[in-house]
Amino acid sequence: MSQSILICDDDQLLIELIEFRLQGKGYTVLTAHDGEEALAKIRAEKPDLVVLDAMMPGIDGFALLVQLKDEPSLSHIPVIMLTARKGEKDIVSALEAGAADYLVKPFIPDELLARIQKYLT
């Protein structure tokens, strides 16, 4: 069975780009467009990794990250933050809250793939 990755971002084109690249590498891809949808899918599907935008409608990525790390059944899932927020405070806060990694938009797709593979091997 292939490993599953949930991508949560409110930018549909970005989701499609990442989804295409990940499917090409053999991953099963789940998608969500906001924090509520992501949380429901993560609870139901238990993906192997989550790629999470910080700025989304509803529950933002930082709040969702904290929620995931507080739930014992989900806290082991690595979360890569993929966001336009590039401030030192944002990066440090996300890593302290439990993010496995932090990547700033615009990003290099191959770099994201390398970071994902790092956590799934």
Q: What is the Cα–Cα distance from 111 to 108, expressed in whole angstroms? A: 5
pLDDT digits (tens, 9 = 90+) for 50-71: 999 999 888 999 999 999 999 9
* Across 59-84, average pLDDT: 97
Q: What is the Cα–Cα distance from 35 to 79, expressed in whole angstroms? A: 13
Residue 86: both structure tokens together: 């590039």
- Within a domain: 120: no
CATH number, position 81: 3.40.50.2300
- Within a domain: 80: yes
Q: Which domain holds residue 27?
A: 4-85+97-107
- Within a domain: 117: no
Strands of the chain (E only): list them.
4-8, 28-32, 49-52, 79-83, 101-104
- Within a domain: 63: yes
- Within a domain: 13: yes
- Within a domain: 121: no
pTM of the model: 0.96
State phi, psi for 4 to the nearest 5 degrees. Answer: -110, 145
Q: Domain tally for the chain? A: 1
Judged against a pLDDT cut of 70, whether residue 1 lies above it is answered with no
- Within a domain: 119: no
- Within a domain: 90: no
Give the pLDDT of residue 102: 98
